[in-house]
Structure 1
């Protein structure tokens, strides 16, 4: 079992919901983002999503796009991102890390080489938003063979005809996007999310985690209550962008985690 699968099994045994936090590698610089990353487990984060900066992040809203631009302006690279993971693993061998981004940097590196390096660094799963299920032979299936979970996104437009294809080679968990559009664009609504999560869970035994549009502890609790947990990204990245101290950002993260865990 991967760290992701072990974590969700432990949460299920405890009757607890998961809290997943997204940060952008290298935003605003390597040292600050690594310090934040190292503090996330202590703030109640069960799974870390680490953004890989990319020049054309088409699925991301302005907040995360700007975070990626700041990271790239600081010359953040794939190698430095993997280096952050290695540094994190020096002190934490349990918290799952999911690398989230786009296929181009991986393709440029070479899939086999990338997967070997990612596994060695301590990455547990991948979310690659621009690779549809029809392209599973490109990365999804090789990643699974290498021991990494490949996490797929389902959205409000993923109908019952499309859903089985989306779920076919997914592992670790399913990431349900609670709104139509880019990250950070609107607020998630539990009344709308609940039926969609139930529809997905009727077709898979995987945990379903809901992301997009979660900015407050109350919303984290409400959304986590409809699913197996929730993801917060843009709200955390916004706190970093505002120049707040790392400890203050971690306090904000803890408030969100407490909200999700109280569901």
Structure 2
């Protein structure tokens, strides 16, 4: 890709570039001396209506950026907890169109940056131009496509950047330095974003302890991306306030996913939105 950050910005009013909301979230957290908190929610779980209430509760609790999961029938990177949530969402009839509607309703009441996270095949089938245009129109700031490696991202990257959307790449511990560098260069060429550092190899899922080599892994990514000066966010396996405090002592952001799905499941017959708000507040205090 020859697209540069400057060429993207000069084509649009900078105030209207959706990805800039991500950049502002990291800047605001840095000014406040804390890390960015990024919770993940499966759209349509436990229902579409409940999704909106729960996501808004997370924003009220202090979430800076919110990942909106798009359910898919073959979610290779998802652990059992998120797979279950996706299965329920699909059974409830959740679709890309439904995810866009949830984003629209959340964006109307919250200023948190919203990211759509899902697999490439449904996006491709929907149509890249249509998908990105619709995402922007419904308040989305960026995209995370776990099964789209940086070296194959040209078609989606071109369309996403033209619409002012960030394209965020996942970097696992097994990634060679050249792949990390490529992800960093592509991210820096766009209108905003961060590097999503996958804390461990394998699928998602909350764990009791952080991987022992995590800090060294983050240091390796930091060294490989020093030229671009991009924020780093860590995801996969984080679940406790202590995890968040530890991770944000050496990275700019932390992602929590499976633990939230479990929390919603535990309170689905009560008030899951209030439980999520309280949990987010406990993570934010670290």
TM-score scaled by length of structure 1: 0.93
Worse overlay, 30-39 or 222-231? 222-231
Of 190, 203, 206, 1:182 maps to: 203
Number of residue pairs matched?
258
Match of 1:237 in 2: 261
Q: Which residue of 2 aligns with 1:105?
A: 122
Which one of the candidate residues 212, 222, 234 is aligned to 1:201? 222
Q: 1:150 aligns with which of 159, 167, 188?
A: 167
Secondary structure of residue in 1 paired with 2:40: strand
Give 1:159 shift: 2.2
Secondary structure, counterpart of 1:130 in structure 2: coil
Q: 1:168 Cα deviation (Å)?
A: 2.3
Is residue 61–residue 183 contact of structure 1 (8 Å, CA) maintained in 2?
A: yes
**C-alpha contact (below 8 Å) 1:178/1:188 kept by paired residues:** no
Measured against aligned partners, the alpha-carbon deviations of 1:69-128 in whole angstroms (never above 9, x if no partner) come to 000000011111101111112212x21001001011111111111111100001000000
SS at match of 2:143: strand
Query: Residue in 2 aligned with 1:118?
Result: 135
Using a 3 Å threshold, how does the CA distance of structure 1 residues 123 and 144 change in structure 2: closer, same or farther?
Answer: same
The Cα of 1:188 is off from its aligned counterpart by 5.0
Of 185-194 and 21-30, deviating more is 185-194
Shift of 1:13: 2.5
Match of 2:97 in 1: 79
The residue that corresponds to 1:192 in the other structure is 213
| 2:32 equivalent in structure 1 | 14
1:211 corresponding residue in structure 2? 235
Matched, 1:257 2:284: yes
Shift of 1:257: 2.3
The 1-side partners of 2:212 and 2:80 are apart by: 26
Alignment of 1:91 with 2:118, yes or no, is no
- Provide the C-alpha distance between the structure 1 equivalents of 2:220 and 2:234, rounded to a whole number of angstroms: 13
The answer to whether 1:56 aligns with 2:79 is: no
Q: After TM superposition, give the deviation of residue 17 of structure 1 in Å.
A: 1.0
Cα distance change on mapping 1:186 and 1:179 into 2, 3 Å: farther
1:221 corresponds to which residue?
245
Question: Which of the residues 132, 136, 152 maps onto 1:135?
Answer: 152
Q: Residue 64 of structure 2 corresponds to which residue in structure 1?
A: 46
Gaps in structure 2 of 5+ consecutive residues: 1-16
- Structure 1: any 5+ residue segments left out of the alignment? none
Task: Tell me if structure 1 keeps the 8 A contact 2:114–2:141.
Answer: yes
The alpha-carbon deviation at position 151 of structure 1 amounts to 0.5
> 1:189: Cα distance to partner?
2.4
Cα RMSD of the aligned pairs, angstroms, is: 1.5
